[in-house]
């Protein structure tokens, strides 16, 4: 590890081993041995190396830190994953396994820890870095992905972790004490689910049917138009079922009905890639992927936060993010989001 740091710092400055050796006052063989990890330099040589490379001695030669193991409760015990995010929710540590869709951004997302083993629910984690205070948010709105980078710029330092989930899953995780915040959406005129938490606005958007080239009708669906469906328990899945009834169809007549993707954005991606022809998602997703869109409901996406968490430093940082210029500017720049200036507003 130390040798790699020295070698990469040297290469970054465009120096050969011989040139670095001349600056430090040692032989080229000594530099080669240090980079190979077969020779530990004296303090005098280490200081000279650090100075020559424009670095600190600790930065170049500090030992590899091994963090203590952490026992955590898995947010999704049925997911078997070698990596995880984790953070404290109340008095328990919660692990968020990085498996399947949960492991991806466009590439693989960074993890807080490796998973060594565990039972059905409890897992043993080997952290990759020093633990930071964390805010764990569950919900389906893709704009929740804006929060981690925005919150990272605020004081005090806080890691925000988003767990994509359906309405039902997010509220169940909140009731189980496994997340700090649960996001869910509710259509205008529909009753707000009873939840033991305070409610705040996050976003407002339209939900409906996105499609590629051909509008789904009873005829076109029977002819093989393919559906990208959402998972059971999601509001989108309920809307799909309503659409099928409206079209005079049964589930068995819909190609792709058994499919199940875990996020609104994945519906848009599947349609844009030609893997499916229609699906239920939000207008911002449809516009982002260049899809046609037909509105079925105007909805508020709300955040449910237990009263015990509202005054905590982590949630105060969340409110600063929601009401700050950066979040509202970024959300306004995504077509389809409405009434952005009301984000963070409490619901009576």
Instruction: Specify the pTM.
Output: 0.76
Q: How far is CA 316 from the centre of its chain?
A: 20
DSSP string, 24-92: HTS-HHHHHHHHHTS-PPPHHHHHHHHHHTT--HHHHHPPPP-PPPEEEEESSTT---SEEEEEEETTE
Residue 133 vs residue 145, higher pLDDT: 145
| Strand 198-211 versus strand 346-347 pairing type | antiparallel
Give the phi and the psi of residue 327 in degrees, each rounded to 5: -60, -45
CB-CB contact of 123 with 167 (8 Å) = no
Start-to-end CA span in the chain (Å): 55
What pLDDT does 91 receive? 86
CB-CB contact of 196 with 227 (8 Å) = no
Reduced to 3 states, what is the DSSP secondary structure of residue 315? helix
What pLDDT does 121 receive? 66
CA angle, corner 54, sides to 49 and 60, nearest 5? Answer: 55
pLDDT digits (tens, 9 = 90+) for 234-248: 999 999 999 999 999
| Strand 83-89 versus strand 70-74 pairing type | unpaired
Token digits of residue 228: 């990208």
Q: Please classify residue 12 by burial: count the beta carbons closer than 10 Å to its beta carbon, then call 0-12 exposed, 13-18 middle and 19+ buried.
A: exposed
Q: Is the pLDDT of residue 117 over 80?
A: no
Region 38-42: mean pLDDT is 86
| Other Cβ atoms within 10 Å of 196 Cβ, number | 9
Region 292-305: mean pLDDT is 97
Rounded CA-CA distance 10/52 in Å is 9
Region 103-116: mean pLDDT is 74
Rounded CA-CA distance 183/200 in Å is 9
What pLDDT does 1 receive? 65
Pick from 145, 169, 72, 147: nearest CA to 115: 72
What pLDDT does 63 receive? 74
Give the phi and the psi of residue 143 in degrees, each rounded to 5: -70, -15
What pLDDT does 43 receive? 87
Question: Does an H or E element contain 297, and which?
Answer: strand 292-305
Q: Is the pLDDT of residue 227 over 80?
A: yes
Give the phi and the psi of residue 344 in degrees, each rounded to 5: 90, -5
Residue 298 vs residues 6, 190, 247, 329: alpha-carbon distances, Å: 57, 10, 21, 22
What pLDDT does 116 receive? 81
> Which H, E and C letters describe 170-220, residue by residue?
HHHHHHCCCCCEEEEEEECCCCCCCCCCEEEEEEEEEEEEEECCCCCCHHH
The overall average pLDDT reported for the chain is: 90
Rounded CA-CA distance 340/304 in Å is 18
């Amino acid at each position: 590890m130390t040798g790699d740091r020295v070698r990469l710092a040297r290469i970054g400055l465009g120096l050969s081993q011989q040139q670095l050796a001349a600056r430090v006052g040692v032989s080229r063989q000594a530099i080669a041995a240090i980079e190979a990890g077969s020779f530990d330099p004296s303090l005098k040589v280490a200081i000279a190396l650090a100075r020559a490379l424009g670095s600190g001695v600790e930065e170049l030669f500090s030992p590899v830190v091994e963090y203590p193991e952490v026992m955590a409760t898995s947010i999704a015990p049925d997911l078997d994953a070698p990596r995880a995010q984790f953070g404290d929710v109340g008095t328990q540590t919660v692990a968020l396994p990085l498996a399947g869709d949960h492991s991806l951004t466009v590439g693989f997302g960074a993890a807080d820890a490796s998973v060594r083993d565990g039972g059905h629910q409890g897992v043993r984690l080997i952290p990759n870095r020093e633990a930071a205070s964390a805010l764990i948010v569950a919900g389906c709105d893709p704009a929740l992905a804006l929060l981690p980078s925005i919150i990272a710029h605020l004081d005090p330092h806080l890691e925000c972790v988003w767990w994509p989930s359906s309405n039902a899953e997010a509220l169940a995780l909140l009731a189980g004490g496994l997340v700090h915040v649960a996001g869910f959406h509710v259509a205008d005129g529909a009753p707000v689910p009873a939840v033991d938490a305070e409610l705040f606005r996050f976003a407002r958007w339209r939900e409906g049917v996105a499609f590629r080239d051909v509008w789904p009708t009873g005829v076109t669906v029977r002819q093989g138009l393919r559906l990208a469906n959402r998972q059971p328990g999601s509001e989108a899945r309920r809307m799909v079922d309503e659409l099928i009834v409206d079209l005079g169809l049964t589930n068995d007549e819909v190609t792709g009905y058994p499919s199940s993707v875990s996020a609104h954005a994945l519906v848009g991606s599947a349609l844009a890639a030609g893997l499916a022809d229609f699906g239920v998602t939000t207008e911002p997703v449809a516009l982002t992927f260049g899809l046609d869109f037909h509105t079925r409901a105007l909805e508020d996406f709300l955040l449910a936060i237990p009263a015990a968490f509202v005054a905590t430093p982590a949630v105060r940082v969340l409110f600063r993010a929601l009401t700050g210029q950066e979040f509202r500017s970024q959300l306004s720049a995504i077509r389809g989001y409405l009434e952005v200036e009301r984000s963070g507003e409490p619901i009576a």
